[in-house]
Amino acid sequence: MTLNEQEIRKIAEEAVRQLGKDATEEKIEQVVREAAERVAREEPGAVSRQTTPINQTHNRIIITAFGRNRIGILAGLTAILAEHQCDILDLSQKILQEFFTIMLLVDISNCNMSFEEIKQEVVRRGEDLDLKVIVQHEDIFNAMHRI
């Protein structure tokens, strides 16, 4: 399976959105190359691990956060989402001694902000809590992790 120019452009545009101010030509090229290599490795007719149709995932985001554990991390991150009408579909968190990690699957179809705005708010709140936070569309997450 190969990507056409439109699909490559879509991956590049999403990489720019995801990387934000960290987007450089080299980083964007790397993301596109890795996605293209994953697609090229797929056999025709092979079943992908992605089971949700892409049109059902474009309003879902993945939030990953990690850092030193402290009181209020979960409340701080989820309060932002609730405030802006985002629906948490699933979450997984783990505390390993003094370290905290969390991954959230969030539906933003009713969000009263754009993806970029909610991303900035969540990242800012994470910084306030001394966390490293990554926010990305589920479509990009899936494209980057396809076999």
pLDDT tens by residue, 55-64: 444 689 999 9
Bridge partners (DSSP) listed for residue 87: 107
> Strand order in 131-137's β-sheet?
87-96, 99-107, 60-68, 131-137
5 token code pair: 């120019």
| Per-residue pLDDT at 145 | 56
Report pLDDT for 133: 95
| 11 half-sphere exposure, CB direction, 13 A CA radius | 23
Give the predicted TM-score (pTM) of the model.
0.61
CB 8 within 8 A of CB 36: yes
d(CA 82, CA 74): 12
| DSSP assigned state of 26 | H
Task: Report the pLDDT value the prediction gives residue 41, as an integer from 0 to 100.
Answer: 62
Residue ranges for the chain with pLDDT beneath 50: 43-57, 147
How far apart are alpha carbons 98 and 4 in whole angstroms?
46
pLDDT of residue 117: 93
Domains belonging to the chain, first-starting first, are 5-46 (no CATH), 54-142 (3.30.70.260)
Q: Tokens 């505390």 identify what position?
A: 95
Q: Fill in the amino acid letter for 50.
A: Q
